[in-house]
Each structure stands twice: as C-alpha cells, then as structure tokens.
Structure 1
C-alpha cells in the first residue's frame, strides 16, 4: 500500500505532465470584462462618422455596436467597449499583435492577407475597384488610363493587380492624400473602393466636379478580421455575420444611412434566407 506522500508525489507528477489549457480569446475577453475593437475612425460618411450631435453613426459603427452586445451575451456578462484606432498602414500589424480582439473596417478579405491574419466567414460587405476623376476628364474604359498616372492608397489591394494590367500607379499614405493629388492635377484619376468614392461624390461638396468613371468586375468581401488561431472567436463572429445576412440587418443599415445598394450584400441576404428555409 502506497504512503500518502507517495500518492501526493504521483498526483503532482501527473498534473505536471498534463498540458495546461490555454485560455481562448473568448475566455480572455470575459476575464477582463472588456471587448477591444480596431476601427478606422469616424471619417467615412455613411459607414463611420460623427452625426450632427457629435455621436458615432454609420453602417460599420452599428455593426461594431451589435458585435459588442452579441459577444457580451455569448460570454455571459456585460462588456466595456474599448476602441483601438488604426490606419491603413498599421491595421494588419495591430491585428497580428492582438492589440484588439478583432477589427471591423473596410478591410478586404484576400488570400494574401489571410497568410498574416484571419477573417470570420462570411464577409459582411463588399467592394470593387473604382476610378474617380474630374467630370471633364474623358475616361470611358480602362484602356484610356494606359500610360497615365493614377493615384491610390499605398495599402490598397488594387495597386498590384492594376499595375499588372498596365496602369501607372502613384501610391500615397491615405485616402485624403490621394484625393488632394487628383485635385492638384498630379494624377489623372484615383483608384480605390467603389464604396468610398460613392459617398464622396454624394456628400462632399468640394468634390462636386468629380465622378465615378469606371468600376471593376471583381468584387471582394469586407471581413471581420482577427489574429490567427482563435477558432472559438472566429466561429462566433462568423455566426453573427451569418445572422446579419439572414435577418437583412445590413440591408436595413444601407437604407438607414442612405447608402447605394450593395449588390453583393443583397445576394448574401438571399443566400442565407434560402439556407435557413431549406433546413
């Protein structure tokens, strides 16, 4: 018969040999009672901006608010919301480093980006490449841009593919610098997401002389981004996005903020409605 000391030693050895369970992202969120979300600021009319009362508003802002509530319900406690401001230059780095639990912006989900960070599936919105220029500038096809300088944000996913198609692209740090370059005549046009340009055309009087010239055929999804190896959080975020589509929540936000209809979002709403009815 083993002595109590021998049994105690044996149990200690067994516990030491058993791998400790690593806390998941959801465990950490619950423990600290706070949800940290990376966002791009409030300078995107229709998507994330400050209303006349100085309060946050917009489609992506409302999605952040909904995620805050639903993640709190999933972990079983109210959570404080901590917003982490990012820029196009540092947003991938911040997500990789875990400076936020996830990011909700106009970040496009691409295979290249999936090598560095993860995305909840499905995506929640979409964008295509668009060319924006003075109304007086004759641009009727992509061929009209061959050999001419087109400006774009340096972090845009459209830079490389359109350079490969023969466009000469001058890269700038951000959206504001791109549009100043076009206004100054340093570029014949700018290229970026059609979603952003549509709102500038409608809301910014200083750009009343400009218009959308071309929209690319390929659409890419905007995704809720998070660091790799967080399967529980990724699954939860994906289920919430599915619910947005199924309940036409995003379509409702488009109407609320008078955004141009996003055909891809409409298709996703129809797909998930059919998916539920087929069960």
Structure 2
C-alpha cells in the first residue's frame, strides 16, 4: 500500500468523531486548522504589499490546509498561530496548533519531544553570516570568537566543542540580526539557506555567508506525539510536494538558489 493510500485510509476515520484523533477532531469541530508558524527570512516568509503573510513557507502552509480540507471532506479555515523559537514546541505540545511549519530542524533530540512528518520539506546546514569586511577564512579561525545565535540552536554546543566558538544567545532570529547589525558579535551562526537568502536583501548588501555549511539537517513539519493518522496524512502531502516538484517550482518563483537536498528528494520521490 502506498503512503498516500495508507494516509487516506487512516483519514477515513476522521469523519467519525468516536474514532477521530483529539487534535483533528477539534479542528473539524471548529472548522479551523491551526498552524503554528514564526517569522522567517524573506522570501521564505515575509509580508506582502497588503501586510499579509507570504513566501515559500506560507505557500506550503496554504497548500497543506487545502489538501487536508479536501481529504477530510470538510473546509478547514486556516488560522496562523505566531510562535518563536522559545515557545514553538510548547505551543505544539499544548495543542494550540495541529502542526508547526517553520524552518525547524528535524534532529534526533527534537524527535524525542515531537513527531516530524517524513520526509522534511527543505534543508539547511550551519554557516556563519558576517560583514564582507570581516575575515573568516575557515572554521578553525573562529576559536575564541563570539557569534550570535538563537538560544534554541542545535548547533551551539557542537560548535563550542568542535571549534571553541563562544556564543551570545538571543530569543529569536530577529534579535540575532539586530545584534549582528549592531556589531555585538563577529557574525551570526545559522541556517545557510536562510542567510544566503538574507544576503540578497538590499539592506544586507554589505554582509555575506562566509563558510560552507556543516551538520546539515532537514526542515520538518512537526506534530504533537500521539497523532498517527494526521502524521501519515501530512507525510503523504509532503511526499507529494517532492514528487511533483512543488518546492522546486517555489524556489524558482522566489529566486532562491536551488537546494541540493530538495533536488535529491524530488529525484527519489518522482521515481518511486
């Protein structure tokens, strides 16, 4: 049985309240799909000319809402729940949203807290973003230097140990960007995909990504544990995005550098 067929079979139970899983049963009852999401670097997530959320991640959220609505046979209005790196997993665990769609890295440690749809939908690796005038020839040159990073970054401890980097921690990426602009650290450590996109923004023209990425990981859609049918359904939707080249098309639409991991997922999914 294919993943999509299996997901649809599981979703058939959603129409019967006595068999529905708690989160999706509640979503159907209120007619709203709550999606936790956060601020991201443009063009992954930004505001359009009307002040509405837009970008690659927002497009995927809307498609996810539409596909889940079609599969359960009921319109589900989209409700965005704003989160930050410090509260996003807490909100998910509390059931404030059915899914969390951000640039959240799918790691073994996080899988002990939440479930991730498989496969992920994008990928990134750790890099350093700093002024063009700042010399960062290699990772070893960062020993004893201070980088800014979100407090929840999975890369802080490994890079402290591996390269002797010191870190100034902040609640989120907006605070990190402000600290870098204020020269409160040599630069930022973060996702190469995000910072490559940020470097193309006019206000960051004097900054650049300094080093090739290390410790790559996929971005996964996260769900509270104990929702196997919803997890199967979301995984099937993400698999379809890769099979049909949806994410590659969005990269082209937003002028992003092609992501090699996404290309690999497309090649695999389109030939299965």
Aligned to 2:86: 89
Provide the rounded CA distance (Å) in 2 between the counterparts of 1:107 and 1:197: 15
Provide the rounded CA distance (Å) in 1 between the counterparts of 2:257 and 2:225: 33
Cα shift at 1:151:
1.2
Provide the rounded CA distance (Å) in 2 between the counterparts of 1:85 and 1:176: 14
Provide the rounded CA distance (Å) in 1 between the counterparts of 2:175 and 2:105: 20
Task: Verify the 8 A CA contact 1:26 1:232 in the aligned structure 2.
Answer: no
Matched length: 254
Structure 2 unaligned blocks of 5 or more:
1-16
Task: Verify the 8 A CA contact 1:201 1:207 in the aligned structure 2.
Answer: yes
Provide the rounded CA distance (Å) in 2 between the counterparts of 1:249 and 1:231: 25
Cα shift at 1:22:
5.7
Provide the rounded CA distance (Å) in 1 between the counterparts of 2:177 and 2:97: 30
2:271 aligns to what SS in structure 1? Answer: helix
Question: What's the CA shift string for 1:112-141, capped at 9, x where partnerless?
Answer: 111111111110001100101111111110
Aligned to 2:104: 107
The TM-score normalised by the length of structure 1 is 0.87
Report matched runs for 1:114-193 at 5 Å. 114-165=111-162, 166-193=164-191
Q: Which stretch of the first structure deviates more once superposed, 44-53 or 148-157?
A: 44-53
Aligned to 2:30: 32
1:129 aligns to what SS in structure 2? Answer: strand
Question: What's the CA shift string for 1:87-126, capped at 9, x where partnerless?
Answer: 1110010111111000111011111111111111110001
Question: Would you say 1:251 and 2:243 are equivalent positions?
Answer: no
2:222 pairs with 222, 225, 229, which one?
A: 225
Task: Verify the 8 A CA contact 1:130 1:213 in the aligned structure 2.
Answer: yes
Cα shift at 1:194:
0.9
1:260 aligns to what SS in structure 2? Answer: coil
Please provide the CA RMSD for this pair: 1.6
Question: What's the CA shift string for 1:137-159, capped at 9, x where partnerless?
Answer: 11110011011111111111111
The higher radius of gyration belongs to 1
